[in-house]
A = this chain, B = another copy of it.
Amino acid sequence: MSSSHAPSNPGTLSYEQAGVNYDLIDPLKVSAQRAAASTATQLGRHGFTEVAASRGESAYVVDVGPFYIASIVECLGSKALVADEMATLTGRSWYDGIAQDTIAMAVNDLITVGATPLVVQAYWAAGGSDWFGDAQRAQALVAGWKKACEVCNVAWGGGETPALAGIVEAGRIDLAASCTGLINPKQRLSVGDGLQAGDAIVLLDASGIHANGLSLARKLVERLPNGWLTEVDPVNHPGLTYGAALLAPTPLYSPVTEALWAAGIVPHYCANITGHGWRKLLRHPAAFTYRIHTLPPVPPVLKFIQHHAQHDDREAYSTLNMGAGFAIFVAAEDAERTVAVAQAQGIGARIAGVVEAGPKQLLIEPIGVRFGDDDLQLR
């Protein structure tokens, strides 16, 4: 890594200083995306076709006739390292929540294209056989995985539990989930064709940092007086430590998208707010202006990170979810009902803005921040 050592004196802590250098990853990503796209013709051998518009989206979609199949594999990232630190400090395992986070990474991406998740496979690659010897931790992982599958109404199909000494670090685990789903009936397909000026932007609440921005969050702990046990909001949330707040599990949003379908609401587009924070609202390839008039409440742990990393609003909203976990773009007349459907599933939601004709940009009016087309290059 070119910049893994942040200065030890306090100051702004950027994402690059926290150890992730996208300049090194991106050329490979572009090359891999081109190679992957070229393989689409293989489906023709089986009489099927890809949904080409899904190539730039969060899940890959194939037309198999009676319905579409969507599939995905997603990594948890480095959140498990926080669970390990907190286990040492608190004496209990946090892997039940970590399991939910891992499944959320896959499921919340899969549903953006209109898919109903059906099967999840577990990928648990440990640094050695002994990882699985800690029964309390292993059982927490199993129990959390099962529960998250039940919340999403998916079958846990199976998976891999390799011991990878020499590849995965001793005492650590690399967690990922793959997910397969159906878009059924086919009208549920949501890869962007439906988005139009006048649509409402409904934001589903985040529970905290979810599983993006953890490199930054982990780097920041060095600056905190009491480390992982520093309270993030002593006045309003006494006793809530930085570590525990970071470990709030990511919500599973598929009950909301399923309930929307049951209520007769078909989103015009969806975006899972993960890496790149609010810039993910610019994900759709067409030129629209997204005007935000109402902000969700910012989870205390994200306010805390913004403060200690000395991020201005622009940097915070460009990196973290700042309270918005998932964006649903719907016809204006469906907006209030969309909020009600989400809330009935126990997920906070609000009409946050509107899609307008205009140059591609995101205008977050309450804080005076603008992101343009240059600020997000995902494709």
Contacts and interface: CB of A to CB of B under 8 A. Distances in A.
Contacts of A226: none
B39 A150 contact: yes
Given A65-B66, A164-B78, A169-B166, A158 B122 contact: no
A50 B156 CA distance: 10
A220 interface: no
A50 B19 contact: no
Contacts of A145: 32, 35
A235 interface: no
A154 to B, nearest CB: 6
Given A66-B65, A164-B174, A167-B168, A1 B129 contact: yes
A207 interface: no
Given A130-B2, A172-B167, A160 B118 contact: no
Interface string A24-44: 110111011101101110110
A132 interface: yes
Nearest to A37: B156
Interface of A: 1-2, 4, 19-25, 27-29, 31-33, 35-36, 38-40, 42-43, 45-46, 48, 50, 55, 60, 62, 64-67, 69, 71-75, 77-78, 80-81, 116, 118-119, 121-123, 125, 128-130, 132-133, 135, 138-139, 142-143, 145-146, 149-150, 152-169, 172-174, 176, 178, 180, 182, 215, 218
B123 A73 contact: yes
B62 A161 contact: no
A43 B155 contact: yes
A137 to B, nearest CB: 10
Given A35-B145, A46-B153, A74-B160, 9 more contacts: A19-B129, A21-B130, A25-B129, A35-B146, A36-B158, A69-B180, A77-B162, A78-B167, A121-B178
A62 B169 contact: no
Contact of A35 (B38, B55, B142): B142
A36 B143 CA distance: 10
A256 to B, nearest CB: 15
A22 to B, nearest CB: 7
Contacts of A146: 35-36, 38-39
B78 A121 contact: no
